[in-house]
């Protein structure tokens, strides 16, 4: 299994304060403290209402640029708050990548809630997916691991399941299901906008409602089944039914697309499991999603 990649820059509150003082001095005196450090980004809370998001390594830098370029254009149609950059920081002599100042979203991630409590906002997430999944322009960001034909993920999924076999009793069952799901007909429609990573840790909830969708670093275009995987990644059977019913009332989604969506959920579940050595929350999300896929 994998652990959090080592940071390729020495990110600290002092560095963030220095960047703010040079590029956005009107924000530099606000209280600042580290809030999170994830796979790709470090997050610092700035005052009560803002956050600073900085890539931890070079491979993550283009993902932040995608958000800076595209989220302002897409946000109006999403129906939910999203981390649209309010200030776009530039590389400097001491920090090599673009960075952003964003709105801070109060609440807790859906990963901290049992699946039964997520059902209340299944329709909200369905509305978000439907609003986002519009035909994308030819210059939409390219992502080699999202939106692509499901069969393109075959080697990666089989490799993960083989690595997990010793600790995952259902690995062989998952491999057999994966083979069947990969046989579904591919997407033959236009490339649609995709969030690319709709698992519970990227959904913020507050007051029993879905309050925001975050982390659009995997933003891309392609097969809508990639995001429809949320039916299994986020919900139990009751929530999944509500999610599918609302989407089905908006547009026709064929059985093959839902079959691929289940395959995408299996793919992302194995990715969460294989990357969770230092994140019990992601481990739990991966285990729950795999159980829903197999169920």
Classify residue 119: in a domain, yes or no: yes
Residues 255 and 168 in one domain: yes
Residues 179 and 212 in one domain: yes
In a domain, 1, yes or no: no
Mean pLDDT score, 145-171: 96
pLDDT one-digit tens code per residue, 108-149: 999 999 999 999 999 999 999 999 999 999 999 999 999 999
Q: What is the CATH number of the domain that holds 30?
A: 3.30.200.20
Residues 67 and 15 sit within 8 Å (Cβ to Cβ):
no
In a domain, residue 5? The reply is: no
- As for how many domains the chain has, the answer is 2
Pair 120, 65 in one domain = no
- The pLDDT of residue 4 is 60
Q: What pLDDT is attached to residue 282?
A: 86
- The answer, yes or no, to whether residue 153 has pLDDT greater than 70, is yes
Kindly report, residue by residue over 45-95, the tens digit of the pLDDT: 999 999 999 999 999 999 999 999 999 999 999 999 999 999 999 999 999
Q: Does residue 263 contact residue 154 with C-beta atoms inside 8 Å? A: no
With CA atoms as reference, report the closest residue to 226 among 125, 144, 147, 143.
147
Of 103, 121, 136, the residue at which a domain comes to its end is 103
Q: Which of 167, 195, 163, 138 is nearest to 271 (CA)?
A: 163
> Is 36's pLDDT higher than 80?
yes
pLDDT digits (tens, 9 = 90+) for 5-33: 678 989 999 999 999 999 999 999 999 99
Q: Same domain, yes or no, for 40 and 175?
A: no
Q: Which pLDDT value is given to residue 37?
A: 82
The answer on 113 and 207 residing in a single domain is: yes
The sign of the dihedral angle between the CA atoms of 59, 64, 70, 76 is positive
- Shared domain for 132 and 220, answered yes or no, is yes
Q: Provide the pLDDT for residue 277.
A: 61
Domain around 73: 13-103
The rounded percent of the chain whose pLDDT value lies above 90 is 92
DSSP code, position 135: B
Last residue of a domain, one of 71, 103, 135: 103
Distance CA 158, CA 69 (A): 35
Its pTM stands at: 0.94
Average pLDDT (35-44) is: 89
pLDDT confidence of 281, banded at 50, 70, 90? Answer: confident
**162 occurs within a structural domain:** yes
Are 84 and 124 within one domain? no
Task: Give the residue with greater pLDDT, 235 vs 1.
Answer: 235
Residue 3: pLDDT band by 50, 70, 90 thresholds?
A: low
Range scoring the smallest mean pLDDT among 34-38, 138-142, 229-233, 253-257: 34-38
71 within some domain: yes
Which of 81, 103, 125 is at the close of a domain?
103
Please give the Cα distance from 262 to 227 (Å, whole number). 10
Q: Tokens 């958000």 map to which residue?
A: 67
Query: What is the CATH classification number for the domain harbouring 217?
Result: 3.90.1200.10
Q: Give yes or no for residue 1 having a pLDDT over 50.
A: no
Looking at the chain, the whole-number percentage of residues with pLDDT higher than 70 is 97
**Average pLDDT estimate for 92-102:** 97
Whether 221 and 277 map to the same domain: the answer is yes
Q: Which residues pair with 36 in a beta bridge?
A: 43
Query: Do 74 and 159 sit in the same domain of this protein?
Result: no
The region, left, alpha or beta by phi > 0 then psi within -120 to 50, assigned to residue 164 is: alpha
**Residue 208 maps to a domain:** yes
Answer yes or no: do 129 and 256 share one domain: yes
- The pLDDT score that the predictor gives to residue 236 is 98
As a whole number, the mean pLDDT across the chain is 95
Confidence band of 199 (pLDDT split at 50, 70, 90): very high
Whether residues 283 and 137 fall in one domain: yes
Is the pLDDT confidence value at 266 over 50? yes
Answer yes or no: do 51 and 98 share one domain: yes
């Amino acid at each position: 299994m994998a652990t959090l990649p080592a940071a390729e820059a020495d990110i600290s509150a002092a560095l963030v304060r220095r960047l703010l003082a040079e590029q956005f001095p009107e924000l530099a005196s606000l209280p600042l403290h580290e809030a999170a450090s994830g796979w790709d980004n470090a997050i610092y809370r700035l005052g009560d209402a803002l956050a600073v998001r900085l890539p931890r390594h070079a491979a993550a830098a283009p993902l932040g640029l995608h958000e800076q370029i595209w989220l302002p254009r897409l946000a109006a149609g999403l129906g939910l708050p999203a981390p649209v950059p309010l200030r776009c920081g530039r590389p400097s002599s001491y920090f090599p990548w673009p960075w952003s100042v964003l709105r801070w979203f109060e609440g807790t991630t859906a990963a901290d809630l049992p699946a039964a409590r997520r059902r209340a906002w299944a329709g909200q997430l369905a509305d978000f997916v439907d609003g986002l999944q519009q035909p994308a322009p030819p210059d939409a960001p390219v992502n080699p691991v999202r939106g692509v034909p499901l069969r393109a993920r075959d080697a990666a999924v089989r490799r993960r399941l083989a690595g997990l076999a010793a600790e995952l009793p259902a690995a062989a069952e998952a491999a057999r299901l994966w083979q069947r799901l990969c046989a579904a007909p591919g997407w033959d429609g236009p490339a649609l906008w995709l969030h690319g990573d709709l698992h519970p840790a990227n959904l913020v909830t507050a007051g029993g409602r879905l309050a925001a969708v975050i982390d659009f670093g995997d933003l891309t275009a392609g097969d809508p089944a990639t995001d429809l995987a949320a039916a299994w990644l986020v919900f139990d059977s009751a929530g999944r039914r509500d999610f599918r019913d609302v989407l089905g009332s908006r547009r026709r989604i064929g059985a093959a697309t839902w079959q691929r969506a289940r395959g995408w959920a299996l793919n992302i579940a194995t990715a969460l499991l294989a990357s969770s050595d230092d994140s019990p929350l992601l481990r739990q999300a991966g285990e729950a999603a795999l159980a829903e896929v197999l169920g």
